[in-house]
Structure 1
Amino acid sequence: MQFRLSPAARSDGHRLHSHDTLGSTNSEALALARGGETGPLWVTARRQEAGRGRRGNAWASPEGNLAASLLLPVAGVAPEMVATVGFVAGVALVDALRDACRLKPSRRTRAEDRDDTGADAPAPHAGGGDAPSPHGLADAPVAIHLKWPNDVLAEGGKLAGILLEAETLPGGRRAVVVGFGVNVAAAPENLPYPAAALAAFSAADAPMLFEFLSERFVEAVRIWNKGRGFPTIRRRWLERAAGVGAPVSVRMAEATLTGIFETIDEGGRLVILAPDGTRRTVTAGEVHFGSAATAA
């Protein structure tokens, strides 16, 4: 199956460059921006050979997993709101993964999910909330949650990561790229934390998940509305977040902060209620919940 955009994404002016192999979809999107491309433009690769995560960490993207990046126009967005695009991406990705998890693992193939005329099954629903499921979907009580600032967990294992990168180009134009890496077919092994693959919960492959994602991103970015709708995105992010109200430990370069994960603030910073009753905000760090937090 080929990567393709959802009808809603195409209607909203999104375009797609699909590759068999790339070093990094984020790097390719940024290179296109330097060449004058403004987006919205998605870049996908069946195999990504030099994927990266936060703080320069490598991100494994073998064939069968999803590597996709979106060059997003940000003209008219206040500079301080650009970073909140990461929360837009998180809400969209969790909703797309939940859509995919309604496709329970089975022997059915995408070809078998076509009707008697050979037409595709209905596309993902563009509305919010508990939308009607596409053909063949069923309820899927899989615990999929966001982990601040940029991860997605499935049943407690890391399923996906989001990487937001920005550059100021000649002439002052800003290029913003949001990258998505999802363990669809397989999760990496020998990591210092649990990892998960979508294949354990869903029959969706990477192109199918991408179609869901392109649909859900259009919905989320409209709500965000160049940052003016971030309060709604913030609320939706918190509704999908792991660990709210639970012990948390954040390891930063200079210290480790422990307390209760209370919320995220209007800028997307983590707010921790410390044992002495004070509140601390965190802009970056390595987050641990539960027993790892209480032991830190």
Structure 2
Amino acid sequence: MNVLVYTGPEVLTASLSHTLSTFCSLLLPNYTVQAVTKQSLADHPWSTACALLVFPSCRAVLSSAKAVHAVKSYVEDGGAYLGLSSGASLRGSRTGLEGSSDLGHQALRFEDKTAGVTIYPMFRSKDDASEWKPLQQGGNVYHDGWSEFSGVEEVGSTKILSRYADSEVAGVVCHTQNGGKAAFWSPSLEYPVTADIGSSLTSEEIKAAEQVRMTLLRDTLRELGLHLPEDKPPSCPLPQFLIAPTSRADIIPRVLSAIGVDMGSGSATLVDTNDTFAFHPFSAGLDQLREARVRSLEHTGEPDEANWQPKHVIVCTPTERPSSEHTPLFDVGKYFAALQRARAQEGLGADAAPEGEWGMGEALLYAEVVTSTQTMLDKNPRLLSNLPAPLLSLASRQLTGRGRGNNVWLSPLGSLPISLLIRPSLKEVPAQKLVFVQYLFSLAVTEACRDPAVLGQQYGAAVRIKWPNDVYAVVGGENRKIGGILVNTSFGSGKVEVVIGSGLNVMNARPTLSLAQLLPPESAANLSMEATTATILAKFDAMWRTFVEHGGSFEPFMDLYLERWLHSDQLVTVTSVSPPQNVRICGITPEHGLLRTIPERRAGGGMGVEYIDLQPDGNSFDLMQGLIKTKTY
């Protein structure tokens, strides 16, 4: 889910900047925090994935009638709104203030029809110099300029959040009849309390004021229905373990040799474009792990990316392997045992791989915290071009997880972010067939979820595919995203490096939906990150072998894919053609993996049927709105 911060021309630049940084620190990794423009509010279907809409300090009221209508509808349909450095006017027969003639009929407003009151956001009314004001409950709050409340009292569902020491209202929240909520704070809670704005305060008062600010914001976010991270998020990457099954002692030496790392004299360094990697023998690497944990625990404030280099790698051997103390969130031994079972189930025994090769998931890079599994592979060309394939990069948490385009991929605790490097020959899999890789991996995920080692058929049947690269769960008639696939390719020398990035919510707590929440409580305890990872890798390995044997044809999987996706015979509107056209989805083209649709006027088929075929990389499918539109980044 997204927390959207309004960035229109009415917004003060400093307030916007502080709002974005403050809310990132409060809400990541449970929510993405993104900017939203006036045009997007007016014209785009933003509300379906929005957990909260935030307005920083504004010079004037929102002037777009379409945007006003969209925001009002969003809140009154159950959404949440927060105005910072914002006052409000409460109107209605029970407040003594009637009508809205002085505010304008197009003004943004939220109605509590049960109580017969309407609340209007009131934006910056004074540009006075900044000041500090004490609150009744203690502590001081900062004002950059001034916004006021008018007629606000606890009427119906309206609740006073805080008052100043002089009894004037400082913050308020109101509810609409459909579960919507709108909160307003007159003080500038988006501004972190520093010596710059707190020059009149002592150092102790500055510290206390910052604690008050963060407490008020956290309490308000909970009042608005958001689920805040309960633990202190990691602030820096932790070393990765380079490891393989004990039965494959040859894998790690071959990986090191291929990338030119000589461990003969102890630690070694590989410098690449995006990252520098420091490889350590096992015992020295554990020292690096302990030091990194201490740094992460002692760090306060925003994460400092300047201290994220080098990326440390601990080289394991068949006799030197991490214990649960070293990897408390992922049991490597349990994973390899599950992988062996899953591979055997798929007919991929010890002799399945050609001589000198290994199966998917057997060469593993694992860390509890990384920047991004995808970035560390596809943004480091020296490493990428020399690493033997297949190789799996896996983490329990990401600091800068990547989604499609410029999207951020959240990686809260319990999610499964992986990146798998494969290197097919273009003679075996022609370049035009690589579009099917994302379809094939999403199919492997859905089939893994139906496996008894993960959810089983009864509960796994809820997991479906949303074209082109998302994994959804159907819960109570709702389609909710639980995963996504990102594929990056790099061509050269008759081969192609393919990095398949996948994020899947396995054991996340709310607000995100996860596989664990699809199970009854008594069964959820049997779900594990290790078995889920192993089952996905084994399913994909088996599918990939069939895919290669058939020259990159998706035909062996087409029927199953169409059973698992959400779109058969779905009526949608294609906005990437002119004029927009209603079409019915009928499948995937077997040659190039395009989404095949038929204009609705000819949905009956017959002679002269004209198809509209859509590329997965150029179009975005808004499932909730039934729209296919040109993808923008």
Both proteins in one fold, TM over 0.5: yes
Is 1:29–1:70's contact at 8 Å kept on the other side of the alignment? no
* Structure 1 unpaired stretches of 5+: 104-136, 190-194
Aligned residue number for residue 183 of structure 1 = 505
Q: 1:143 aligns with which of 436, 441, 462?
A: 462
Q: Which amino acid is 2:598 matched to?
A: L
What TM-score, normalized to structure 1?
0.76
Helix, strand or coil: the match of 1:281? strand
1:163-213 deviation digits (Å, cap 9, x = unpaired): 0111135x5642111111011222775xxxxx6211211422322210111
2:619 to 285, 289, 292: 285
Q: Quick one: structure 1 residues 102 and 82, their matched pair in 2 at CA, closer, same or farther if it must change by over 3 Å?
A: closer
Q: Which residue of 2 aligns with 1:111?
A: none
Q: Which of 57, 60, 64 is the aligned partner of 2:414?
A: 64
Q: Determine the structure 2 residue equivalent to 1:82.
A: 434
Query: What is the Cα-based RMSD across aligned positions, in Å?
Result: 2.8
Can you list the C-alpha shifts for 1:93-148, whole angstroms capped at 9, x where unaligned? Answer: 11112226864xxxxxxxxxxxxxxxxxxxxxxxxxxxxxxxxx674364211110
Compared with structure 1, are the counterparts of its residues 43 and 141 closer, same or farther at alpha carbon in structure 2 (3 Å cutoff)? closer
| Aligned twin of 1:118 | none
SS of match in other structure, 1:38: coil
CA apart distance, 1:66 = 0.2
Which structure 2 residues correspond to residues 47-62 of structure 1 after superposition, within 5 A?
47-62=397-412
Q: Which moved more, 1:199-208 or 1:249-258?
A: 249-258
Question: Matches of 2:465 and 2:367 in 1, distance apart?
Answer: 28
- In the alignment, the residues of structure 2 paired with residue 96 and residue 248 of structure 1 have an alpha-carbon distance, to the nearest angstrom, of 29
**Counterpart code for 2:372:** S
* Larger deviation, residues 21-30 vs 219-228: 219-228
Indicate if the aligned counterparts of 1:247 and 1:289 stay in contact, CA closer than 8 A. no
The equivalent residue for 1:273 is: 598
Cα 1:20–1:164, aligned 2, differ >3 Å: closer, same or farther?
same
- AA aligned to 1:2 is D
Q: Percent identity?
A: 25
Q: What is the Cα deviation at residue 33 of structure 1?
A: 4.5
Q: Indicate the residue corresponding to 1:248 in structure 2.
A: 572
TM normalised by structure 2 equals 0.37
Count of aligned pairs between the two proteins: 256
In 2, the alpha carbon distance for the partners of 1:256 and 1:37 equals 46
- Contact conserved, 1:17 with 1:43, CA < 8 A, in 2? yes
Aligned residue among 587, 592, 595 for 1:263? 587
**Contact preservation (8 Å) 1:65, 1:185:** yes
Q: Is the 2:373–2:401 Cα contact (8 Å) retained in structure 1?
A: yes
Q: Do the aligned partners of residues 188 and 83 (structure 1) sit closer, same or farther apart at CA in structure 2, a change above 3 Å counting?
A: farther
Shift in CA distance, 220/212, structure 1 to aligned 2, threshold 3 Å? same
User: Is the CA contact (8 Å cut-off) linking 1:42 and 1:68 kept in structure 2?
Assistant: yes
User: Which of residues 212, 218, 227 is equivalent to 2:541?
Assistant: 218
Shift of 1:89: 0.5
Shift in alpha-carbon separation, 1:64–1:245, aligned structure 2, 3 A? same
CA shift, 1:235, in A, is 2.5
SS at match of 1:66: strand
Q: CA deviation at 1:253?
A: 9.3
Counterparts of residues 28-177 of structure 1 (less than 5 Å)? 28-30=376-378, 31=380, 33-75=383-425, 76=427, 77-99=429-451, 103=455, 139-140=458-459, 142-155=461-474, 156-169=479-492, 171=493, 173-177=495-499
Q: Post-superposition shift, 1:289? A: 4.0
Determine which of 520, 538, 562 is the counterpart of 1:238: 562
Q: Residues 72 and 145 from structure 1, CA distance in 2 versus in 1: closer, same or farther, beyond 3 angstroms?
A: same
Corresponding residue of 1:2: 331
Distance 1:100 1:285, change over 3 A: farther
Query: What amino acid sits opposite 1:217 in the alignment?
Result: F
User: For 1:242-270, what per-residue CA distance to the aligned partner results, in whole angstroms no more than 9, with x for missing partners?
Assistant: 12112124554987553111101012110
Secondary structure of the residue aligned to 1:178 is strand
Residue in 1 that maps onto 2:368: 20
CA distance in 2, matches of 1:262, 1:201: 29
Deviation at 1:47, TM superposition (A): 0.6
Deviation at 1:24, TM superposition (A): 1.2
Preserved contact between residue 142 and residue 201 of structure 1 (Cα < 8 Å): no
Quote the Cα distance in structure 2 between the aligned partners of 1:148 and 1:174.
24
Q: Secondary structure of the residue that 1:196 maps to in structure 2?
A: coil
Say if 1:258 and 1:293, in contact at 8 Å, map to a contact too: no
What code does the residue aligned with 1:243 have? H
Q: Which letter does structure 2 place at the counterpart of 1:286?
A: S
Gap regions ≥5 residues in structure 2? 1-329, 603-609
Q: Which has the larger radius of gyration?
A: 2
How far apart, CA to CA, are the structure 2 residues paired with 1:91 and 1:138? 15
Q: Offset at 1:228?
A: 3.6
Amino acid at match of 2:491: T
Q: Return the alpha-carbon distance in structure 1 between the equivalents of residues 472 and 539 of structure 2.
A: 18
Shift in CA distance, 186/141, structure 1 to aligned 2, threshold 3 Å: closer
Tell me what 1:206 maps to. 529
Q: Which amino acid aligns with 2:497?
A: A
Q: Which amino acid aligns with 1:210?
A: T
**Residue aligning to 1:112:** none
